[in-house]
C-alpha cells in the first residue's frame, strides 16, 4: 500500500443520506477511507442499506469496515430486520446473563444479514455517579462484576455469529458529570479506584476476546498528569490498554466531532494526537470537508516524521486482520428479525421493570375499582427524536397501542393524550383541565431531568390529578420530581417491550 492508502485505512467516515452518491464515492476515493459508520440518516430500510453497501464497495473496488451503534434501548438506528431490545439497565437490573449472550447472538445474526461488520456495543461503563448525562440507562448498572459478566456474554454472543463487538468507553465514562457530546468532562478518580470499579468490565471483555475497544473523551486528571483527554493520552491508550492490559485488537476513537474534542483543539490536531496515542481507527462522523482535511493532515504528519511510520504499518495490520474476519459482506438469509428476538427482548424488559414507590398503596391497579370509570393516559410525542433514533411506529401514534395493551387486563382507557416532550405553559394548562375530571391518570414521563416543561407538568399533574401513576420512560432519577404519594414505575426506557412491561407491572400482584 502507498502512504495515502495506509492512512486511509485508519479513517471511519459518516455520510449523509441513504445512497452512495457521486460525492460520497469521490470522498472515499480521495481519502482512501477504510471504514463507514452508519446512523439513522442512512437507514431508511433494510434493502436500501444493502443497496448502499453494494453500490459503494462496487464503485471503490474494495471492502470497507461497516459499523453502527446498535446498543439497544435509546440507541437503535434501524428497526427493520432487527430486534429492538430494551436499554442495558433493564437487563442489568434483573435479567439473566444467558439472556445477554442470546441478545448478542440475535444481534450478530441480524446485523450480519444487513452487511454490518462491527456493532459499537456493549457499553461497559459502570455507573459510579447517581446522575450521568452521557450514559444513564445505556449502562448495565453500578455493580462492576455484573456489568462485566453481562457485557462479556453479549460480546461473545455477537462474535459467535461473526459480528465484531466493541467494548466502550475505555477506561470508563461512568463517573462523568458532563456529556462529551457537548462538553469536556473531567473525572477525578485515582487509577487504583478505577481498577477496582471502572476497569473491571473491560478486563472481562479482554479475557473474552472482544475484537474492538472504543476509548472515551474525558480527562482522567489523577492518572494523566498532562490533563489530556483519554483520546489523546498515550499513557492511557498505548501504555495501559496495549502494554499493561495486553489488548491486541483494534482501538477506536469516539467521534472526533464531539464537543469534548472540538472545544479543545482543531480536528486536524485531534486526529494527529489520537493516532499518536495509539488508536487504529478514527471516527469522523460528519462534514466531508473536515474529513478530507483530516486525511491530508495525517499524510503530511507521517511525511514530516511527526507520526511513526512503523506504528502505522502495525496498526493497518490489525485493521486488515479485522476485515479478514468478515470476508463476505452479507451472511446468508433475508434481513428479518430472529424468531425468538421479540420474546427475548420482552423477557428482559419484564424482569427489569421496577416499582420505585407507591405511597398511597394504589398498586396493583387490578385491586383498585375507581379507575374503571375514567382512565386517562398521557404519552409523550416521540416524533422529534425520530430523525436521530428509530422509533417504533406504534409509539409514534400510541393511542391504539396503549388501548390494546391495557385491554389485556380488562381495562378500557377513556383517552390517550399526546404531549410534547418539553410542553409549554399553554399545553400544561390544557392537561391540568383535562385531568381534573378523571378518576385515574397515568403519565408516561420522558426525561424530566432534561426538560423544564416536563418537570412543571409533573408538578401540575400531581396537584390536579388524584390519584396519579407515573411511568418513567428513561432515567430513574427523574423520581426526584415526583412526590412520595405518587405511584411510580420504571422500565428504564421507552421501547415498545418496555412500555408493555411497565403496564404489566402496574397491574401485577407479584
Q: What is the 3-state secondary structure (H, E, C) of 426-452?
A: HHHHHHHHHHCCCCEEEEEECCCCCCH
> For the residues 304-326, what does the mean pLDDT come to?
96
Flag the least confident range among 80-84, 294-298, 406-410, 457-461.
Answer: 406-410
- The Cα-based distances of 390 to 122, 378, 393, 510 in angstroms read 19, 21, 9, 32
- pLDDT band of residue 128 (cuts 50, 70, 90) is confident
Mean pLDDT of 155-181: 93
Of 108, 234, 227, nearest in space to 161 by CA: 108
Are 373 and 440 in a shared domain? yes
- The CATH number that applies at residue 47 is 3.20.20.300
- Pick the more confident residue, 327 or 276: 276
Distance of CA 410 to the CA centre of its chain: 36
Residue 215 backbone dihedrals phi, psi, to 5 degrees: -85, 175
Task: Please determine, for residue 467, whether its predicted confidence score (pLDDT) is greater than 90.
Answer: no
Per-residue three-class SS string for 413-428: CCEEEEECCCCCHHHH
Residue 322, pLDDT > 90, answer yes
Of the pLDDT bands very low, low, confident and very high (cuts 50, 70, 90), residue 118 is very high
Residues 275 and 358 in one domain: no
Question: What ranges in 172-212 are assigned the alpha helix state H?
Answer: 191-196, 200-207
- The answer to whether residue 458 scores a pLDDT higher than 60 is yes
Tens-place pLDDT, residues 55-110: 999 999 999 999 999 999 999 999 899 999 999 999 999 889 999 999 999 999 99
Residue 206, CB-side half-sphere exposure with 13 Å CA sphere: 20
- Average pLDDT over the chain, rounded to whole? 94
Residue 3 covered by a domain? no
Query: pLDDT per residue over 92-103, tens digit each?
Result: 998 899 999 999
| 320 shares its domain with 360 | no
Within a domain: residue 85? yes
Residue 20 inside a domain? The answer is yes
Q: Which of 324, 341, 362 is the last residue of a domain?
A: 324
> Which segment of 75-89, 210-224, 371-385 scores lowest on mean pLDDT?
371-385
Residue 227 belongs to a domain: yes
In the chain, the number of structural domains is 2
Cα–Cα dist 151/209, whole Å: 12
Max mean pLDDT range (24-28, 259-263, 467-471): 24-28
The catalytic site residues sit at: 181, 254
107 & 57 share domain: yes
pLDDT higher than threshold 60 for residue 369: no
Evaluate whether residue 445 is within a structural domain.
yes
298 and 360 share one domain? no
Range of the domain at 411: 353-507
Same domain, 293 and 157: yes
Of the listed ranges 51-60, 130-139, 143-152, 432-441, the least confidently predicted one is 130-139
Q: What is the rounded distance in angstroms from the CA atom of residue 488 to the CA atom of residue 61?
A: 56
In the three-class reduction of DSSP (H, G, I as helix; E, B as strand; rest coil), residue 182 is classed as coil
* The pLDDT of residue 448: 92
Q: Are residues 20 and 99 in the same domain?
A: yes
What separation in angstroms does the CA of 24 have from each of 286, 290, 296, 316?
12, 14, 17, 23
**Do 47 and 191 fall into the same domain?**
yes
pLDDT higher than threshold 70 for residue 370? no
> Which DSSP string corresponds to 453-465?
HHHHHHHHHHHH-
Residues 291 and 438 in one domain: no
Residue 463: give its domain's CATH number. Answer: 3.40.50.1700
- State the Cα–Cα distance between residues 281 and 10, nearest whole angstrom: 5
pLDDT of residue 95: 82
Are 26 and 137 in a shared domain?
yes
- Looking at residue 134, what is its pLDDT? 77
**pTM across the whole model:** 0.95
The confidence band for 141, taking pLDDT boundaries of 50, 70 and 90, is very high
Residue 24 counted as domain residue: yes
Task: DSSP for 312-347, please give it.
Answer: HHHHHHHHHHHHHTT-SSS-SS-S---TTHHHHHHH
Residue 368 in this model has a pLDDT that exceeds 70: no
Report yes or no on 331 lying in a domain.
no
Q: How much is the pLDDT for 477? A: 85
Evaluate whether residue 412 is within a structural domain: yes
What is the structure's pLDDT at 439? 87
How confident is residue 372, by pLDDT bands cut at 50, 70 and 90? low
The answer on pLDDT for 231 being more than 60 is: yes
C-beta separation of 469 from 405 below 8 A: no
Residues 264 and 388 in one domain: no
Question: 350-361 burial by CB neighbour count: b if 16+ within 10 A, else e?
Answer: bbbbbeebbeee
Answer for the pair 49, 115: CB distance below 8 angstroms, yes or no.
yes
**3-class secondary structure, 14:** strand
> How many other C-beta atoms lie within 10 A of the C-beta of residue 310?
7
Which residue bears the cell 498528569?
225
Q: Which range is least confidently modeled, 10-14, 55-59, 221-225, 320-324? A: 221-225
Percentages helix, strand, coil for the chain (3-state, rounded to 5) are 45, 15, 40
Domain shared by 320 and 358, yes or no: no
Q: Which residue has the higher pLDDT, 189 or 253?
A: 253
Amino acid at each position: 500500500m502507498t502512504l495515502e492508502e495506509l492512512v486511509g485505512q485508519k479513517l471511519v467516515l459518516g455520510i449523509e443520506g441513504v445512497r452512495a452518491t457521486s460525492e460520497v464515492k469521490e470522498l472515499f476515493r480521495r481519502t482512501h477511507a477504510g471504514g463507514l459508520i452508519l446512523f439513522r440518516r442512512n437507514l431508511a430500510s433494510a434493502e436500501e442499506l444493502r443497496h448502499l453497501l453494494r453500490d459503494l464497495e462496487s464503485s471503490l473496488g474494495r471492502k470497507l469496515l461497516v459499523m453502527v451503534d446498535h446498543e439497544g434501548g435509546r440507541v437503535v438506528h434501524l428497526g427493520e430486520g432487527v430486534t429492538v431490545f430494551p436499554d442495558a439497565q433493564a437487563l442489568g437490573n434483573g435479567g439473566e446473563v444467558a439472556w445477554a449472550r442470546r441478545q448478542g447472538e440475535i444481534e450478530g445474526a441480524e446485523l450480519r444479514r444487513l452487511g454490518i461488520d462491527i456493532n459499537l456495543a456493549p457499553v461497559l461503563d459502570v455507573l459510579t455517579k447517581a446522575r450521568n448525562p452521557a450514559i444513564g440507562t445505556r449502562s448495565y448498572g453500578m455493580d462492576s462484576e455484573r456489568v462485566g459478566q453481562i457485557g462479556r456474554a453479549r460480546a461473545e454472543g455477537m462474535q459467535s455469529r461473526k459480528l465484531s463487538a466493541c467494548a466502550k468507553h475505555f477506561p470508563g465514562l461512568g463517573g462523568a458529570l458532563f456529556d462529551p457530546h457537548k462538553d469536556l468532562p473531567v473525572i477525578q478518580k485515582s487509577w487504583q479506584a478505577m481498577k477496582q470499579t471502572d476497569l473491571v468490565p473491560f478486563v472481562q471483555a479482554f479475557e473474552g476476546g472482544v475484537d474492538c475497544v472504543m476509548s472515551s473523551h474525558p480527562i482522567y486528571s489523577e492518572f494523566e498528569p498532562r490533563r489530556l483527554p483519554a483520546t489523546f493520552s498515550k499513557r492511557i491508550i498505548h501504555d495501559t490498554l496495549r502494554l499493561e492490559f495486553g489488548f491486541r485488537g483494534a482501538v477506536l476513537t469516539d467521534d472526533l466531532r464531539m464537543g469534548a474534542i472540538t472545544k479543545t483543539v482543531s480536528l486536524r490536531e485531534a486526529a494527529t494526537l489520537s493516532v499518536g496515542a495509539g488508536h487504529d481507527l478514527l471516527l469522523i462522523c460528519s462534514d466531508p470537508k473536515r474529513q478530507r482535511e483530516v486525511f491530508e493532515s495525517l499524510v503530511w504528519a507521517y511525511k514530516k516524521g511527526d507520526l511513526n511510520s512503523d506504528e502505522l504499518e502495525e496498526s493497518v495490520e490489525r485493521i486488515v486482520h479485522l476485515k479478514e474476519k468478515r470476508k463476505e459482506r452479507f451472511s446468508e438469509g433475508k434481513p428479518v428479525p430472529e424468531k425468538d428476538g421479540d420474546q427475548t427482548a420482552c423477557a428482559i424488559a419484564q424482569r427489569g421493570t421496577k416499582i420505585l414507590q407507591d405511597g398511597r398503596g394504589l398498586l396493583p391497579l387490578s385491586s383498585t375499582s375507581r379507575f374503571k370509570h375514567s382512565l386517562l393516559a398521557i404519552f409523550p410525542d416521540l416524533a422529534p427524536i425520530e430523525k436521530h433514533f428509530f422509533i417504533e411506529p406504534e409509539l409514534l401514534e400510541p393511542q391504539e397501542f396503549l388501548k390494546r395493551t391495557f385491554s389485556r387486563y380488562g381495562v378500557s382507557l377513556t383517552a390517550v393524550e399526546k404531549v410534547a416532550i418539553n410542553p409549554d405553559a399553554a399545553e400544561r394548562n390544557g392537561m391540568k383541565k383535562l385531568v381534573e375530571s378523571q378518576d385515574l391518570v397515568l403519565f408516561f414521563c420522558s426525561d424530566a431531568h432534561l426538560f423544564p416543561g416536563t418537570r412543571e407538568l409533573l408538578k401540575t399533574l400531581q396537584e390536579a390529578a388524584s390519584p396519579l401513576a407515573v411511568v418513567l420512560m428513561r432515567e430513574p432519577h427523574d423520581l426526584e420530581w415526583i412526590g412520595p404519594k405518587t405511584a411510580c414505575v420504571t422500565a428504564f426506557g421507552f421501547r415498545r417491550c418496555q412500555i408493555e412491561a411497565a403496564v404489566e407491572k402496574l397491574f401485577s400482584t407479584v
